[in-house]
Amino acid sequence: MDYTPATGDADKSAKTLTTVIYALYAASFLIGITAIAAIVINYIKRGEVAGTWLESHFRWQIRTFWFGLLWGIIGAILFVVAIGWFILVANAVWIIYRIVKGWLNLNDGKPMY
């Protein structure tokens, strides 16, 4: 899909919300519960950004959460055999990358993908 950023008040509000969601995901490294708040907001507000360039950011955030959770669980289970530590570190780096990449694209007014 070809998304073009709009400049209306609704778009500015949705962009601000998307920024807040990225901040909640980033804060989850210090306060884990903020990731839960972020994913809930993603699902509640997803319909409001459907068909806009911000939809790709919501999809990016949602996938980051679920794949991060999956690899976090796998890493925690395998922590007993030491390989889990490497999985957890790699997962953290991957999540940080996705938060930073998404936030930078959002700031530049670019969709993800």
Domain extent, residue 20, equals: 9-107
* Cα-based distances in Å from 57 to 30, 76, 90: 22, 28, 22
For the chain, the domain total comes to: 1
Report if residue 58 sits inside a domain: yes
Report the candidate in 32, 16, 15 with the shortest Cα–Cα distance to residue 24: 32
Do residues 33 and 43 touch, judged by C-beta distance below 8 A? no
Report if residue 15 sits inside a domain: yes
pLDDT at 8: 67
pLDDT at 32: 86
Report if residue 93 sits inside a domain: yes
Report if residue 4 sits inside a domain: no
Q: Could you report the per-residue pLDDT of 38-53, keeping only the tens digit for each? A: 999 999 999 999 999 9
Q: Which residues of the chain have pLDDT under 70?
A: 1-8
pTM for the full model? 0.86
pLDDT at 43: 97
pLDDT at 81: 87
Report if residue 112 sits inside a domain: no
